[in-house]
Structure 1
Amino acid sequence: MTSANPARPLGTGTARRSTQTATLAEIAREAGVSAPTVSKVLNGRADVAPATRTRVEGLLREYGYRRRRAESSRSPLIDLVFHELESAWAMEVIRGVENVARDEGLSVVLSESAGRLTPGRTWADQVAARRPHGVILVLSGLDASGQALLTSRAIPFVVLDPAGDPGDDVPSIGATNWQGGLAATRHLVELGHTRIGAISGPTRMMCSRARVDGYRAALETAGLPVDPALILPGNFHHDSGYRAGLELLRSPDRPTAVFAGNDLQALGLYEAARELGLRVPEDLSVVGFDDLPVARWVGPPLTTVRQPLTEMAEAAARLVLELGRRAQPAAGTRMELATSLVVRSSTGAPPV
């Protein structure tokens, strides 16, 4: 009974926390519960009262408690979570993670956070219960409670292509988005274009902002003005490329070239140009970003910036498994893989 083992005030362990790591038994005593109850919380079991779970997890965070590797019986899984799972872009990422998982004898669990860039607590509880070898979050991140939950259970995680700044202590894999935007726009400038539009991705995403910043830098370096009216926001989907394309191409002083924030938006721009009777590249040059397989198949084949999605996913999978093998947690690792311009038939000199 709890009356025979009363909970200590939370402040009594403060000095000890600064000098040593608590054991599971010490956390149980301070929470006023049994060690098996703390173990249930660690293992994501549902049969714990919400108030008790909250109290125990607060102490786990305060102590910075991490399960020893020997305590953790891991499932042969890698958790891969997307904020949206509905495009060829996602398939390239899945392929990369599965390449590594297959070699390691692991399976991949896919989940979607329903468009949220930070998965909810229910998702984190489910992951804790599965006890995978690691978690890869694509274009997503974790809030402080989610990070603490996975860390306390010795479940490593890596953010792939982070939407925002993941923080210095969060391992992440990305691409040279700014360089890609620079290369795409510089290519159009070198072809002779002086009025170049841009269709960005979501402004809340770091990769999208970096690509547009590279676009701006290329124009400024060439001595060309950056016209805000030529930069329209999108959402990385075909429909936003189509809508933004119509707006750009219907303007009285329309651009002769457009840098689209990704290949899907570039394909939407193709559709808008066809609807308005414009030819690519004779009347309009188009550059995309990603180099998805469809970029080679469309007519005309799309000039685009290759983002090494499969290689990025492979690097994220190798990193999360390496973090799981280390006896001690490592400081955040940030890696960017190089982008490269792939010139095809959708770009040419501006119309005379």
Structure 2
Amino acid sequence: MVIRPLLPDLLAALPLPTLAVDRAERIVAMNTAAQTLVGTAALDRHYINVLRQPTVVDAVEQCQRDGKPHEAHYLSSDGGNDTRFQVYVSAVSGSDYVLLSFQDITQLTKASQMRRDFVANVSHELRTPLTALMGFIETLRGPARDDAPARDRFLGIMTGEAERMNRLVGDLLSLSRVESEERLRPTQKVDLRYVVQSTLRNLNPLAVEAEVSLVPRMADNDLPMIGDSDQLLQVFTNLIENAIKYGGKGKTVEIDVETTLRDPSLRGPAVRVTVIDHGPGIDPLHIPRLTERFYRADSHRSRALGGTGLGLAIVKHILSRHRGRLKIDSELGKGSRFTVILPLDPAQD
């Protein structure tokens, strides 16, 4: 039989927040983790006054009646953040005590919600072009069967919708790949100056078409670092292409490249590549969420310009793999600044 004087030592050996309730429904013992969760003043108080959540109360009452294990959920708050616990309620054989153990499942719950949101977003993004394609196919089979001008116009729209789905699938595959490699540090020796120059060459036709001038400002010296050149090219392609598209016709896009011996955010030698546009800017309200999957500050304009809502999420994961940072500054009517901060490797110079 477990006697009350032994309970504190027994509970102290358990890693999860755990407390014991006696037949009189009072908390008679708890470990340090449980004190952090419910407070030290909970000892010797009625457990209902401490926990105050019906699902937990029901689980304890059922356990006291039938002696079988039960489970419940307990919601708490940790410094302004909501936390969710799975509560395991079990009777101690040969005694009048019921033990409550709290397992933090906050991150599991968030991950599950993120998966559900991701599936819902992908379904929504694919449903729109698919619905359009199905509608035009039905029209081409029926009323527009012999209408050549309408057929050509509809086929052009269908091509655009198919290309949109193709871009979305491509970005989804790219996002999946960079997420799977995020914890694997790159091993290649890369000259970041060459990567930026390659990006500018690749995007020059797009800039000419949009009547946008690309203005790079960087020194002639090499910028050695350890990285994945293809992924870094993807980062700067995304940011500069966005600046061209959203900056506005006839404007300039500036690319500033600066080095520092000690960057405050990386605490070591670093290079800062800042892409500056002079477009309408972004409401500061949207900035903290811009790197979320499928988040768009201007959904209609983004879709019209062929955006999938995944580009900045891909950038975030690539920079995380390279131990880099992304800083976004913008003001409505005054354009935007996207700054990539990456660690340099002077030993490679």
The verdict on a shared fold, with TM-score over 0.5 as the criterion, is no
Structure index of larger Rg: 2
More strand by share: 2
When normalised by structure 1's length, the TM-score is: 0.27
TM-score normalised by length of structure 2: 0.27
